[in-house]
C-alpha cells in the first residue's frame, strides 16, 4: 500500500473512503469531522445525539455519502477517552479504520491524523502510529490462495493534515511509520511462508539480498566453515536435516564511525519437528514460526539503511531445520559448543538453546556493547505469559530498562522473568557442563539460564522469548492478523534509535 501525505482539507479528497475520528469525551466535533459532517447534512451529529456513536475506543460509525462527497463512505473511528489516548490506541484505531475500508472494498483511503488534535499526542508520534496501524492492518498473506482475501485491494493511504504548522511533524512521522511497518511486514512474510519454501538457504538468500543495501554487509558461512569455527552445538541440531544449514552475520556500519555497537541474535529454526524427541503432530502445525527471531533480525536489517541508527549493528542467525532421521542428533549425545562448554542433549526438541549457544558465543566474541537475542524458545514462556507477551531475561537492568522503554513506544508487550541463579542446579548434567533441559517446572527460566552460559559475563545481554507473540493463532489486534506478527521488530527499531 502506498502512503501519501498531503496538506489540505479532507472534505476535498478524491479517495474512496474517508477516515475521521471522534473522542468519547470530545464534546463538539473537531475541525475535520465537523466539515465532513456538514457535507453529510449532519448525519454524524445525528448519530451522536441518538447515541448510535459515542466515540468509544475502536467503535465505528459508517456513513454512506450517496454522492454528497466524492468518496463512497465516511468511517468515523472512536478513539475512546482523551486522557486514555496512547500511541498504541492510535495504532489500533487506524487498524480498525483500515479494516472497515477493506470491507467497503476501497482502493484508496484518506485519513486525518488520529490523535493529533489539541492536547493530544505530538503530530509526528500520532502520524507514525496511524501509518503503522494502517499498513499493518492492510497486510495479507494470501499468495497461495486462488481467491484472495480482498476482492479489491487497498492501494493507497493518504494522510491529510489541514494545519500547515503540523506538516513537518506529520511527514516525518509518516516516513518513520512506513519504515517500521515495512520492517515488520518483511518479518511477517518470512514467518508466514511455508516451511518447505523457507529453508535455511532461503533465509540466507534473504540476508544476501539485504546486504546489497548501502552500509550493510553479510558474511555467510556454510557447514564446513561453521565446523572450522567449532560451532558443534549448532551443527548437531542441523545434522538431522538434508537441507544445508547456514550461519549468517550481517553488519551495518553508520556513515559516521560508531562509538558503540549492538548484536541482535535471532533463533533460526526454519522448521522444528522436535527431532528424535518428536513433537506430537498438533504441536508441529505452526512450527514454521520457529525462525521468528531470525525473521525479526532480518526485518530490522531490511530497513536499517532507512532508519540510519548511529550505532554499529550486527545481525546473527544460525539457521537450520530440526528433523528426525538416521543422522539426527540423539538424546544422550554430548557436544562441545564454540565457547568450550559441553552440553548433554537430553531432549532434541530443546534445540533452539543448543543452536543459540553457538550464536551467542559468536556474538560475544565480537565484543559488542550489548547483545539482544530473540527466540521462539519455550512453550513454558507461553504458559507463563500467554500468547501476546514476550518474556525478558537479562544480566543488566539498564539495558533491560532501555528495551522496556522501546517496547512502550512500539506497543509491544514485554514482561520480565527472573534469571534466577539458584535454578542453575536444574540444568546441571551428570556427565557434561550443562544439560539442555531443566525439570518439569520453570522451563522458560531454565532455558534463559542455559543461554547465559554462552554469553560473555561482561556484556550487557537481554534475552527475549517470543514463543507466544511471534505467531498469532487468531487475530490479536486490529493490526495484528492471524499468522506471523513480526514480534520484536518495532521494539528493536525503537531501541536502535535511542541506543548510542
Instruction: Given the residues 68, 279, 336, 497, select the one marked as catalytic.
Output: 279
Q: Considering only the stretches 219-227, 311-319, 328-336, 348-356, report the one whose residues sit in contact with ligand BES under the rule CB under 6 A.
A: 348-356
By beta-carbon proximity to ligand BES, the closer residue of 136 and 350 is 350
Task: Tell me if 451 sits within 8 A of 266, measured CB to CB.
Answer: no
Q: C-alpha 444: how far from its chain's center?
A: 20
The binder of ligand BES chosen from 378, 395, 478, 491 (CB under 6 A) = 378
By beta-carbon proximity to Zn ion, the closer residue of 217 and 327 is 327
Distance between CA atoms of residues 481 and 483, nearest Å: 6
223 given a catalytic annotation:
no
We find the least distance from the C-beta atom of residue 387 to ligand BES, in angstroms, to be 9
| Residue 358 contacts Zn ion per CB under 5 A | no
Helix residue ranges per DSSP H, 332-396 = 352-365, 379-385
Tell which positions 258-277 bind ligand BES, by CB under 6 A: 272
219 given a catalytic annotation:
no
Partner in contact with 85, chosen from ligand BES, Zn ion, none, beta carbon below 5 to 8 Å by kind: none
Q: Provide CB contacts within 8 A for 381, sequence distance 6+.
A: 391, 417, 443, 444, 447, 465, 467, 468
Any idea what the Cα angle at residue 472 is, between residues 132 and 352, rounded to 5°?
110
Give SS3 for 134.
helix
The binder of ligand BES chosen from 467, 472, 489, 495 (CB under 6 A) = 467
Task: Tell me if 428 sits within 8 A of 345, measured CB to CB.
Answer: no
Partner in contact with 76, chosen from Zn ion, ligand BES, none, beta carbon below 5 to 8 Å by kind: none
Burial of 118 per CB tally in 10 Å (0-12, 13-18, 19+): exposed
340-364 core/surface letters (b: 16 or more CB in 10 A; e: else): ebbbbbbebbbbbbbbbbbbbbbbb
Instruction: Given the residues 353, 435, 453, 490, select the one marked as catalytic.
Output: 353
Residue in the shown chain whose Cβ atom is closest to ligand BES: 379
We find the least distance from the C-beta atom of residue 347 to Zn ion, in angstroms, to be 8
The binder of ligand BES chosen from 170, 323, 350, 493 (CB under 6 A) = 350
By beta-carbon proximity to ligand BES, the closer residue of 19 and 382 is 382
Nearest in space to 210 (alpha carbons), one of 302, 311, 347:
302
| Residue 222 contacts ligand BES per CB under 6 A | no
| Residue 321 contacts Zn ion per CB under 5 A | no
Task: Tell me if 116 sits within 8 A of 160, measured CB to CB.
Answer: no
We find the least distance from the C-beta atom of residue 339 to ligand BES, in angstroms, to be 21
Which residues are at the interface with ligand BES (CB under 6 A)?
272, 290, 347, 349-352, 376-380, 382, 437, 443, 467
- Interacting residues toward Zn ion by CB under 5 A: 269, 272, 290, 349, 351-352
The catalytic residues are 279, 353
Amino acid at each position: 500500500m502506498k502512503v501519501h501525505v498531503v496538506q489540505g482539507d479532507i472534505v476535498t479528497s478524491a479517495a474512496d473512503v474517508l477516515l475521521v475520528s471522534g473522542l468519547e469525551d470530545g464534546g463538539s466535533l473537531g475541525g475535520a469531522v465537523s466539515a465532513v459532517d456538514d457535507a453529510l447534512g449532519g448525519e454524524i451529529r445525528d448519530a451522536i445525539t441518538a447515541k448510535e456513536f459515542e466515540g468509544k475506543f475502536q467503535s465505528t460509525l459508517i456513513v454512506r455519502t450517496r454522492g454528497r462527497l466524492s468518496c463512497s463512505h465516511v468511517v468515523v473511528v472512536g478513539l475512546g477517552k482523551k486522557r486514555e489516548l496512547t500511541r498504541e490506541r492510535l495504532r489500533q484505531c487506524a487498524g480498525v479504520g483500515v479494516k472497515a475500508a477493506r470491507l467497503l472494498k476501497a482502493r484508496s483511503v484518506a485519513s486525518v491524523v488520529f490523535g493529533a488534535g489539541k492536547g493530544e499526542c505530538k503530530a509526528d508520534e500520532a502520524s507514525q502510529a496511524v501509518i503503522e496501524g494502517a499498513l499493518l492492518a492492510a497486510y495479507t498473506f494470501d499468495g497461495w490462495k486462488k481467491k484472495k482475501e480482498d476482492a479489491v485491494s487497498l492501494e493507497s493511504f493518504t494522510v491529510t493534515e489541514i494545519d500547515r504548522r503540523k506538516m513537518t511533524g506529520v511527514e516525518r512521522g509518516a516516513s518513520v511509520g512506513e519504515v517500521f511497518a515495512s520492517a515488520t511486514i518483511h518479518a511477517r512474510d518470512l514467518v508466514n511462508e511455508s516451511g518447505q519454501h523457507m529453508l535455511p538457504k532461503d533465509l540466507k538468500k534473504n540476508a544476501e539480498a539485504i546486504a546489497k543495501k548501502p552500509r550493510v554487509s553479510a558474511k555467510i558461512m556454510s557447514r564446513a566453515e561453521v565446523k572450522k569455527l567449532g560451532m558443534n552445538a549448532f551443527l548437531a541440531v542441523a545434522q538431522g536435516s538434508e537441507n544445508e544449514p547456514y550461519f549468517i552475520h550481517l553488519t551495518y556500519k553508520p556513515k559516521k564511525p560508531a562509538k558503540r555497537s549492538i548484536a541482535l541474535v535471532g533463533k533460526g529454526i526454519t522448521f522444528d519437528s522436535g527431532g528424535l524427541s518428536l513433537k506430537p503432530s498438533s504441536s508441529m502445525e505452526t512450527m514454521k514460526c520457529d525462525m521468528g527471531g531470525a525473521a525479526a533480525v532480518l526485518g530490522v536489517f531490511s530497513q536499517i539503511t532507512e532508519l540510519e541508527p548511529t550505532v554499529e549493528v550486527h545481525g546473527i542467525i544460525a539457521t537450520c531445520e530440526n528433523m528426525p532421521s538416521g543422522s539426527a542428533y540423539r538424546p544422550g549425545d554430548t557436544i562441545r559448543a564454540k565457547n568450550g562448554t559441553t552440553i548433554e542433549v537430553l531432549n532434541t526438541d530443546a534445540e533452539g538453546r543448543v543452536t543459540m549457544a553457538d550464536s551467542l558465543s559468536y556474538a560475544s566474541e565480537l565484543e559488542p556493547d550489548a547483545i539482544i537475542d530473540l527466540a521462539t524458545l519455550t512453550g513454558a514462556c507461553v504458559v507463563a505469559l500467554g500468547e501476546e507477551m514476550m518474556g525478558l531475561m537479562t544480566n543488566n537492568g539498564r539495558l533491560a530498562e532501555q528495551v522496556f522503554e522501546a517496547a512502550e513506544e512500539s506497543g509491544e508487550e514485554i514482561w520480565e522473568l527472573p534469571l534466577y541463579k539458584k535454578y542453575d542446579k536444574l540444568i546441571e548434567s551428570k556427565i557434561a557442563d550443562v544439560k539442555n533441559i531443566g525439570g518439569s517446572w520453570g522451563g522458560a527460566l531454565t532455558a534463559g539460564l542455559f543461554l547465559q552460559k554462552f554469553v560473555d559475563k561482561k556484556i550487557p545481554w537481554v534475552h527475549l522469548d517470543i514463543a507466544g507473540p511471534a505467531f498469532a493463532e487468531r487475530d490479536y489486534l486490529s493490526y495484528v492478523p492471524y499468522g506471523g506478527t513480526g514480534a520484536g521488530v518495532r521494539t528493536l527499531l525503537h531501541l536502535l534509535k535511542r541506543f548510542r
